[in-house]
Structure 1
Amino acid sequence: MTTTPTNLALDLGRSLVEPALRDAVRHCLCPELARVTAYHHGWTDAAGRPAEGRGGKLVRPALALLSARAASFTAADGVPAAVAVELVHNFSLLHDDIMDGDTVRRGRATAWTVFGAPQAILGGDALLAAATTVLLDTRRVGAASATRSLIAATQRMISGQAADMDFEQRDDVTVAECLRMAGDKTGALLACACALGAELVGGDVALVQRLAAFGEHIGLAFQLVDDLLGIWGDPEHTGKETGADIRARKKSLPVVAALNAAQSDELHALYHGPEPFTEADVRRITDLVERGGGRDWAQEEAARMTAAAEECLAGAGIADAVHGEFRDVAALILGRRS
């Protein structure tokens, strides 16, 4: 992606989607859980008073709106798809914060630390149910098909999360397994977002498939870039210490690639050892991952995925303006640089 990202698609997404997103939370959730999720989205404080919290960028909704436009409909026609995919995304964030023990999101205390884990879990569950309600209530020609696609993407995302957790207990994870996990955990919902608006309005099947493939490749490229930054990223840009993923012993893609390619037993012994890492260990492991080809492989794979995404989009036969905005949003997704 060589274009400079703009905010046009994101700005349009925010103006169209956020009011509908608030309506969905208000009308589909009981008051207790609406309060939890409104706080999570940054709309209110813990007491339910309006707040100026910083919400997400609404990248996935922007992609859903673009996919409706790709099918020659208006962005407004894609709003239910955009809302649905954002509800699923936030379902996953509420649960992820609990599983990871994260106490801060977007500069505020995470919902589970404020309302308790049970309420946050139920809030996530309620958002997932609301997502299907929003799609089915549209009565659009593609409502049933779009709902099935969203559920399938959600199932893949959950499967990817389960695999990621399983990897923490294993020392024999293969590159193929790690790529499949990343595709499920990160690529599935992005693929769904890129196609859901078109599917909802009854777009051509071949177009829907092309857009989904574009999103899948962008999702994998994003995960590869994110994993590179988790080891070699500049803390001023990432907000994390250099080598943060090494300290956490994550089975990230560069690490798994190096572990599977390394000729020396040193990387295996260090990474799978029982003792906490010292700073010297982190530096040595980082060096071994690079020497083992993990960094180069991840960079090359990210470039390959980005090129594959470009090819999918080029073959979709969509209007130049929409094509350009898809590329701009993708460039924004991939724009974190070390």
Structure 2
Amino acid sequence: MAAYSFGWCEVGGAPAVASGGKGVRQALAVLGAEAAGAPERAGVAAAVAVELVHTFSLLHDDIMDGDGDRRGRPTVWKAYGTGPAVLAGDALFALAVETLAAEPGGAGAVRTLSVALGDLVRGQADDLLFADRPWTGPERVRPDEYRAVAEHKTGALLGCAAALGAVLGGAGPETVAALDRAGRHLGVAFQIVDDVLGIWGDPRVTGKPVHGDLREGKKTFPVLVALGSPMGGRIAGLLESGDAPETAAALIEEAGGRSAALAEARRHIAAVETALDDAPSTARAADELRSLLGYLVRRDV
């Protein structure tokens, strides 16, 4: 099940050619360690631990969200059953902790990972509650609430990825905090760009159906901004009925949802740059981190 979740095999163990994902967290872990002057081993251990935790979170997220497909294949719970998928996720989490605990400086790294996991769980819990809140009225989800959830659900693990290798390498608290801050802002930007792609992205690039997030009724950043506009009532009606996602997408764009989302993503990327300026780093690591930022924000939006 673990090999299947990483895209290494098909159900039953036959070798697979499925994509293993973008590798963003691993890259951040290695580059964060290098930026802090930590030894290569620290970056590798951090990358392994973060990817194990990320995959564990995906296994459980897919169960909670009822998602039947990921990267063009059945999710683990669909392929193997809910109970086995939960256990597989638990095993990956345990292995992540073991990976860090075995390293010099592992106690501090495990604490860093635990803080990130606490935030991730909080973000996931709030995200689940969003689904039951109305599209309009005083109880509707506000963009500032979305930002907080995005920082916890997505940003916490990216911040952990950027900082964990530095922790293992014995970097000072200021450097660790700056890298964590950079990763958290990156997480918000990454999530918002994903929201834009979930409505207007090319399915050949994203691997998701066009307007998929609208059909699923997800309360994403462009939608929440548009719901606060004079066109919000009409948009809410379309979203509640599930009809005409093409029309809803056009109205959300007309109401400024898409442009506001991209502006918000750029604001967080600027905050990433500021945080990286506060973290001493080698020129090579800094350049590669900035190249990674550019890739994450562009992604055909």
Do both share a fold (TM > 0.5)? Answer: yes
Quickly say closer, same or farther: Cα 1:52–1:300, change in 2 above 3 A.
closer
Quickly say closer, same or farther: Cα 1:151–1:204, change in 2 above 3 A.
same
C-alpha separation in 1, matches of 2:80 and 2:120: 25
The yes-or-no answer on 1:68 pairing with 2:36 is no
C-alpha separation in 2, matches of 1:99 and 1:240: 19
Quickly say closer, same or farther: Cα 1:113–1:266, change in 2 above 3 A.
closer
1:232 to 195, 200, 204: 200
Query: What whole-Å deviation, never above 9, does each CA across 1:156-188 have from its counterpart, x for those lacking one?
Result: 112212211111110211111111111111111
What residue in structure 1 maps to residue 168 of structure 2?
Answer: 200
Query: What whole-Å deviation, never above 9, does each CA across 1:299-332 have from its counterpart, x for those lacking one?
Result: 1111111111112112322111010111122223
What residue in structure 2 maps to residue 83 of structure 1?
Answer: 48
What residue in structure 2 maps to residue 156 of structure 1?
Answer: 119
Paired residue type of 1:258: A
C-alpha separation in 2, matches of 1:108 and 1:269: 33
State whether residues 65 and 76 of structure 1, in contact with CA within 8 Å, keep that contact through their aligned partners in structure 2: no
Moved over 6 A (4+): none
What residue in structure 2 maps to residue 331 of structure 1?
Answer: 294
State whether residues 132 and 147 of structure 1, in contact with CA within 8 Å, keep that contact through their aligned partners in structure 2: yes
Equivalent residues in 2 for 1:120-135, closer than 5 Å: 120-135=85-100
The yes-or-no answer on 1:293 pairing with 2:256 is yes
C-alpha separation in 2, matches of 1:242 and 1:108: 18
Quickly say closer, same or farther: Cα 1:268–1:51, change in 2 above 3 A.
closer
Q: CA deviation at 1:52?
A: 4.5
State the secondary structure of the residue aligned to 1:261: coil
Please give the TM-score of this superposition, normalised by the length of structure 2.
0.91
Identity of aligned residues (%): 45
C-alpha separation in 2, matches of 1:52 and 1:296: 36
Aligned Cα RMSD in Å? 1.9
State whether residues 38 and 168 of structure 2, in contact with CA within 8 Å, keep that contact through their aligned partners in structure 1: no
1:316 to 272, 279, 282: 279
Equivalent residues in 2 for 1:76-225, closer than 5 Å: 76-138=41-103, 140-141=104-105, 143-171=106-134, 172-225=140-193
Query: What whole-Å deviation, never above 9, does each CA across 1:6-29 have from its counterpart, x for those lacking one?
Result: xxxxxxxxxxxxxxxxxxxxxxxx
C-alpha separation in 2, matches of 1:83 and 1:136: 13
State whether residues 190 and 215 of structure 1, in contact with CA within 8 Å, keep that contact through their aligned partners in structure 2: yes
Please give the TM-score of this superposition, normalised by the length of structure 1.
0.82
State the secondary structure of the residue aligned to 2:280: coil
Quickly say closer, same or farther: Cα 1:116–1:216, change in 2 above 3 A.
same
1:307 to 270, 273, 276: 270
Query: What whole-Å deviation, never above 9, does each CA across 1:16-52 have from its counterpart, x for those lacking one?
Result: xxxxxxxxxxxxxxxxxxxx21222233333335545
C-alpha separation in 2, matches of 1:191 and 1:247: 31
Equivalent residues in 2 for 1:17-96, closer than 5 Å: 36-96=1-61
C-alpha separation in 2, matches of 1:177 and 1:153: 19
State the secondary structure of the residue aligned to 1:224: helix
Query: What whole-Å deviation, never above 9, does each CA across 1:179-201 have from its counterpart, x for those lacking one?
Result: 11111111110111011100112
Quickly say closer, same or farther: Cα 1:135–1:161, change in 2 above 3 A.
same
Gaps of 5+ in 2: 135-139
State whether residues 90 and 124 of structure 1, in contact with CA within 8 Å, keep that contact through their aligned partners in structure 2: yes
Corresponding residue pairs, total: 296
What residue in structure 2 maps to residue 252 of structure 1?
Answer: 220
